[in-house]
Amino acid sequence: MDKDDDLKKLSNEELIKLRDLTEKTKWEYYNNFNKLTDQVKYLESIIYKKCDHEWEYDYTASGPYDGPDKICNKCKLYRNHYMYEYHH
């Protein structure tokens, strides 16, 4: 059976409940995503300070007019401490 056919069989009240539940779930995922993104930034700020970096050139991240960036071959973070300052 087709998904559209199943939805068309629902009453308007059931569709509203389903929409509201879907919207609630969407915002829960969005909030969880933001929390995880913040946690990654926090972890990277600590890693950047603690790592005994071994820098190497990274030609994949630079544009045609930029020089190559440097990336640590241990922690895989870029040589730019401003990127890893954590402001909560």
Q: pLDDT (tens digit, 9 = 90+) per residue, 53-87?
A: 999 998 887 777 777 889 999 999 999 999 999 98
CB neighbours of 56 closer than 8 A, spacing ≥ 6?
70, 71, 72, 73
20 by DSSP, 3-state: which? Answer: helix
Beta strands 55-58; 69-72: pairing state: antiparallel
Per the listing, tokens 């995503």 go with: 33
Q: CA–CA separation, 36 vs 42, rounded Å?
A: 10
| Prediction pTM value | 0.75
Confidence category of residue 31, pLDDT binned at 50, 70, 90: very high
Q: Which two tokens stand for residue 66?
A: 């930029």
Q: Which two tokens stand for residue 41?
A: 């930034």
